[in-house]
Amino acid sequence: MADRIRNVLFLCTGNSARSIIAECVMNRLGSGKFKAYSAGSQPKGSVHPYALDLVRQLNYDTSALRSKSWDEFAAAGAPVLDFVFTVCDNAANEACPYWPGQPMTAHWGLPDPAAVEGTEAEIRFAFADTHRMLHQRISIFTNLPLASLDQIALQKHLDDIGRSSIARGVEKV
């Protein structure tokens, strides 16, 4: 892959929490190498308040965050995508639009923090844990030697990141 900024799209159904957090993390960790976007198959229309609060507390740039449809990235004039990662199981099972650029894809499914019920502390912990898992996966991804990997090896790495027990927060016994 040529030495240039690569476009990455994170997908989730509602584009209100996981994909939004992933967009923030990638734009920070991949600065100068990657440009991240997020979208949803059925966008909620707003960023979840706990997701927004979390990324603000972690000093991420939130100025361009919004819940949007994945159709924006299949339309004429959309950024040509190099990678598309689904971060929820629902979006992974849906028929995706055609993505200009024939991006590499992988599923990096995570539990939905917006579905967690409990005390405010428990819910906020779920959002923080989602950030932790995404940060680990994206850190692994941004440190891959892309220029030295062929398509098959790169696809294996992308799939392995999504299956990584470390990145999911599961201890191997």
Measured CA to CA, the distance from residue 50 to residue 131 in angstroms comes to 12
Residues serving a catalytic function are 12, 88, 96
Give 96's contacts (C-beta < 8 A, 6+ positions apart).
11, 41, 70, 84
Which of helix, strand or coil describes residue 147? helix
DSSP 16: S
Give 129's contacts (C-beta < 8 A, 6+ positions apart).
113, 169
